[in-house]
Amino acid sequence: MRSIWLDELPAEPYPSLEGDTSADVAIVGGGIAGIATAYHLALHGASAVLVESRTVAEAASGRNAGFLLAGVAENFAAAARRYGETNTLRIWRFTRHNQDLVRALVAGHRIACDLAWNGSAQVAGDDDEWAEVRASADRLGREGARVRLAHTERSAIYDDDGELHPVRYVRGLARAAAAAGARIREATRATGVAATELRTDKGRIRAHAVILCTNAYSQHLVPLRIRPVRGQMLASAPLGRRVFERPAYANRGYRYWRQRPDGRLLVGGWRDTAVDEEVGEEERTTARVQERLEGFLRERAPDATVTHRWAGTMGFSHDALPYVGRLASGVYVNAGFTGHGMAFATATGELVADLVRAVSRDETDLFAPERP
């Protein structure tokens, strides 16, 4: 079944590539990463051609929960053990910048995507995580985050986090990119890449730079340490009462839920209950995970009627941070979002566009694609 986002918003078709062409930059992938990259390049006067094998936002960008959170999936305390506190702060600030970019783009281009800033709840699944959630709130509060603890729910409320309709956002940004001069070509499958050439099933693009924004599918074109992982969700019919006050991210990011402005409930995750089954590129739902999602829905809203069930393929990097930059082959990448494309990709699109334009950026080392 199609995601609720894709089901309620028909595609705005772009033509396919017709024969050979040239551009300053060729981009593969019409999700948020590719569209944001094309937008930032076109904004600075670069000619860009983007090819997408399906339609804009039809893959993972149209199958997620539409969260705009700051930071990585782990809480700050857990992330600091992995990356060190200094780098974890840099990552957190980068995702805050991503939120600021989304806010500005939605306002500046009048993108009707139900963007709201109701905050988010980071919910602990056990005692150890609750201790980390409290420590994270204390540390980020000293960095200016508007955060408060809800002890009875064992959660931290981050008031600056947001939510949106991901397909309306990505397709709205695509219109803005096209208006700025980017050429978007759908139903065009990339078949090979090199530093200055992109080959497709419809023709060839010669360019000064080639950027892969294909996330889980990147390994079909370049050697990149990305593992495809399936994520599943469901949605209910509208309810006339409030069940979830704000988006929630629980159990170290493995479970999440929200309620849309129209009253529909969205529940996703639980892939930790079927780890081996959820690896791969197949976009199908499974009984095991869907039963868990529906079981949680029944606990919170016994009268809710499920209307949509869907799956999408996420691209997991080796250390849960995106790969953004130039490979040794000369090809650029903007991928590996580990289930957090909405939290990173508007800003990583800006970052890779700057790198292609030889603009120096401080975050380059964090996301270098061939880092250890």
Instruction: Quick: pLDDT tens for 49-92.
Output: 999 999 999 999 999 999 999 999 899 999 999 999 999 999 99
- Classify 209 as helix, strand or coil: strand
Q: Is the CB of residue 73 less than 8 Å from the CB of residue 344?
A: no
Summary mean pLDDT of the chain: 97
From residue 247, how far is each of 121, 158, 267, 276 by CA, in Å? 6, 10, 10, 27
Whole-angstrom distance between the N-terminal and C-terminal Cα of the chain?
39
Query: Domains of the chain, with CATH numbers?
Result: 4-63+166-226+319-367 (3.50.50.60)
Distance in angstroms (rounded) separating the CA atoms of residues 231 and 311: 6
Q: Pick the closest to residue 109 from 49, 43, 159 (CA basis).
A: 43
- Most distant CA atoms of the chain, gap in Å: 62
Q: Is the CB of residue 230 less than 8 Å from the CB of residue 271?
A: yes
| Alpha helices (runs of H) in 142-261, residue ranges in sequence order | 166-179
Residue 10 in tokens: 């028909």
Q: Could you tell me what percent of the chain has a pLDDT over 90?
A: 98
Handedness of CA 53, 57, 61, 65 (dihedral sign): negative
The bridge status of strand 183-185 relative to strand 48-51 is parallel
pTM for the full model? Answer: 0.97
From residue 280, how far is each of 217, 255, 332 by CA, in Å? 10, 19, 24
Tell me what pLDDT residue 12 has.
Answer: 86
- Quickly state the pLDDT bin for 247 (edges 50, 70, 90): very high
Distance in angstroms (rounded) separating the CA atoms of residues 260 and 247: 9
Residue 297 in tokens: 């829905």
Sheet of 120-123: strands edge to edge?
147-150, 155-158, 120-123, 248-250, 255-259, 265-269, 227-236, 306-316
Tell me what pLDDT residue 60 has.
Answer: 97
Tell me what pLDDT residue 1 has.
Answer: 77
